[in-house]
Structure 1
Amino acid sequence: MSLKYPPDSDLRRLLRFETDSGAIWLGDRRMVLMHTNALAALRQDLVSSVGPEHARRILTRMGYASGLSDAEYAKKTRPGESMQDSFMVGPQLHMLEGAARVTPVKLSFDIQAGQFYGDFRWDHSWEAYAHRQKFGLVDDPSCWTLMGYASGYTSAFMGRLILFKETLCAACGADHCQIIGRPIEEWPDGEAHRVYFTDDSLVEKMEALQSQVDALKSQVEPASQGGQLIGNSTAFRKAYSLMQKVAQTQATVLLTGETGVGKERFARALHELSSRASGPFVAVNCAALPAELIEAELFGVEKGAYTGAHAARAGRFERADGGTLLLDEVGEMPLAAQAKLLRVLQEGEIERVGGEATRKVNVRLVAATNVDLEQAVQAGRFRRDLMYRLNVYPICIPPLRERKTDIEHLAQGMLARFCALHSKRILGFEERALQALLQHDWPGNVRELENLVERGVILASQSGKVEVEHLFPNQPETAQTSLDAHGHLARLPTAQDDDLSARILDSGSSLEEVEARVLDQAVVRARGNLSEAARMLGLTRPQLAYRQKQRQDRSGAAPAPDLHREGGAL
């Protein structure tokens, strides 16, 4: 088959530079530019600390992971094109990423039959250069990362492990590198190389440490009916530690924090860590109940207590007997109900509405609020004596913006839950989506994150990934640049640019008229300073002068003033 590369403009558009966020993107994958001397220093440190064999394994697996990632673009970037053009995405991306100049020498493959043979030449391999920089000429091929990339990309493309081996290497003194790839079974020593694509044995040496990490993780992620509490940030661990210390006591707990931080989930976790875990957990939202019904809901009703009370009914306190009662939004409770609640806390007994007998209740009370109770007391909306009773053991749950390191773990847990709920198979979040989650301010906290993840699961394609557009469909575009055909940075058009272009076309003005207006406006804004006007337009001063002269020649107007004089004005 012909080994000519297809045009790479489609791939260059994948590479975007966001000046506002400081991120570089290849499609939805975040990239980074690094100095080759820094990579060479890392390579040297790896070889000296773990030895060349382990260093090779680590670097090969790093390249392998990169190749697997790029392979995702191979078939979706060029739909409808030939399989060869789709496969060439890999070598072309490898060149775009600065790995080496890749020249295909021979390529034949049949995906269904599992047959592959590839022969490629690498010129200017960064890795051969980096290795020679630190170790001089060596005897064995050393482009480990690049080799891992070729194997990872081709293996993902073919659906089976394809092993590439370096037959020539510039680190050994050759003027270029040469690689050949075949299915691993077709290499006589293929099994000896399989170790470079499996879990590193260094991980096995860290099993003891990993078990400790898992133990710590299980301590900060207790299972509960409301789902797991997930978090490892400093702010979260502080709140969780306070909860652990009070769980086995009978003390009243006051959970404070903004709306949506997960106060009910903390209350459920507190209940399940307590000695009352086998008893009921009852939650009531005080703000959602009408003032005239809240007493009946909390303390129960006797038959005939009021019109419509056709039967006696137990209240939330009685239903929570032997367990835990959560009074959510307790700061919104009416003053009359506050007085009765204070008596229950003092005496440990309730009296149903319309009843005369008292009933003993054994309830552990947890209150939650997003308002400042001290300010509510000052405003006369909350009883001071009740505040003191509730504020025995306060726990402030941090807002999501103060626990950024927990966002990805929370989102992944929610993703799994909503995939099961909506019967969808989603492979995770694209990196741009994760970055957008990390950069969001989260005024709605964990509840807002939960809503966004559920929406992302619904909008994402089956067996696809959640993309940033699924989470934030109205997110404004950021300024981005990409590479033009000459390798120069060029600004990418945005939706606003498209709108501007549409308005210009709809105006009926000719291109010459539009150019004339833009040039004149730039000169006006620069107050006649042509050098400044040229900078606004992205031109040099002579280029601006040339365009002005062309206009005058076309219109037959009088000669323009000397535009080459610095600071000249019209």
Structure 2
Amino acid sequence: MMKINSGQEALLDRGGRPTLRELLAHLVFSPVNGVLRLGDTRMVLQRTSFLSHLREEIVRNYGREDAFVLLMRLGFQAGVEDSRFVQASWPNLDPGDAFTAGTRLHTVSGVTRVETIHNDFDFKKGKFSGEFLWHESAEASEHRKHYGDATEPVCWSLVGYASGYATHSLGKLIVYKEIECKAMGHKHCRVVGKPAEVWSEDDPTVQLFRRQIMPRYLSEEIRARPPQASPRPIPKDAAARLEAIVVEPVRVQLERIATSSLPALISGPVGSGKSIAASYLAKLAAPGTKSLDFVPGHGLTREKLLALLAPSTSRSGMRKVVVVQNPEVLDAGVQALLENHLRTAPDMSRHAPLLIMLTESSPAAFSADSRLRPALRCILMTAQIVMQPLSLRRSDIPEIARSIAENIASRMHVPFRELSPGATRLLSDLPLRENLVCLESILTKAMLEASPLQQIEAASIEKAWTELRVDTTTPDITEPLKVAALLALDAEGFGIERLNEMLYALAMERAAGNVARAAQLLGLTRPQLAYRLHATKGPI
């Protein structure tokens, strides 16, 4: 029997479609067969205390953080499935009505009664802002009934449901937050929903949704949808995704070089992604390239270089790619041959070999390296790409680490395990001097030792970091500095002012023009460095 108080009959037809009455028409109960369905979906009736006890057991066995993620994720998935149910059952429904149907489904399910404070959305632009009151939330009521007042909002699965329904409806991640909760003694529960980018991608809750709550297959589905799809869709394959993230800061430069006949010089410290950038460039300039052969500059002979620079004779006509590591150590004779080739080669078209040079020297150090022939140095620096160390890309480390972890899991033939928020924060703070190399070693060791059924926690990362005995000490550069200082003292017109100017310039270059980061590298405050830069070059 459906109980409706006097005067509430009209409420069944209130609002957009599907109304409460239309939703109830899809609810079929066959007690003889023991089946309850909403449309084609099997449902069950159960005591709300079951959910309360289930929550308690999960918290007791797995901890608060894992319980929070699990219940939020289950709620998110339920919201997605209800959104799909509405779209499938009423295919010609106005998108706005399909979206607001979520509030009525919440009510029909018996988990809460929703009151809209405001609900503004624009499907074409992907904009959304909503605030709602939840009356008689089952999660909040059960928690207070069994455990008394809570110290934090407890409607985890309901928040997940609202986020999942809105995310599927709008085609982009919508994150709800519970700002008041009846379990805490408030009159009702109050939630606010906004797109992830409005909350800020650095928001801990947004990061949690992206990495652990939003199902990965839905993540790909959302990314594929116009018009909210990213202009640079993130690849599904972990290796391709890692490549995309690593090269993104220099992607446009690489694409420009790929359409030219210029030799490319990719510089950066160990593990900064030079090889990944070279591979990306090779695939653009020479489609079909599957792997690269890296030729060390030390020991490269004239005969070997001539063979490398010879036009391809393969029947496929695929453009040859030549990657030389550390060109500054090339033999003088080999440098002369290379310079002559680059200056006089009759065919510098896309059919000529693509030449890529990799160096660990900074642009300033490469430019000042006396081992290089001046003309060759100028030619190689024409199309230069600078890969930044991870210390200057800390906001990218969580995504980079996740992609590396997926690659490791694939190689080890083990299930992929998510990194906890604490683990990603720790990785982002570690001084990874060897950059990607160091990051991969830490993740591999942590994955080998972590429980196969749990996410990788910060403790596993810290343990791996400690056991690997990663050297965080500053290398002894006294002797090289002494040599450089003696050469400077012997040079005419070189004084302390010139030395300081060079240090400021190098720090600014390493920090990609960020004054605060450059000041940190020099052991100065930002105002101190800004003042000194102003004194030497004018206003910043």
Normalised-by-shorter TM-score class: 0.3 to 0.5
TM-score for both structures, normalised by structure 1: 0.43
Q: Work out which of the two has the higher radius of gyration on C-alpha atoms and give 1 or 2.
A: 1
TM-score for both structures, normalised by structure 2: 0.45
More contact order relative to length (CA 8 Å, sep ≥ 6):
1
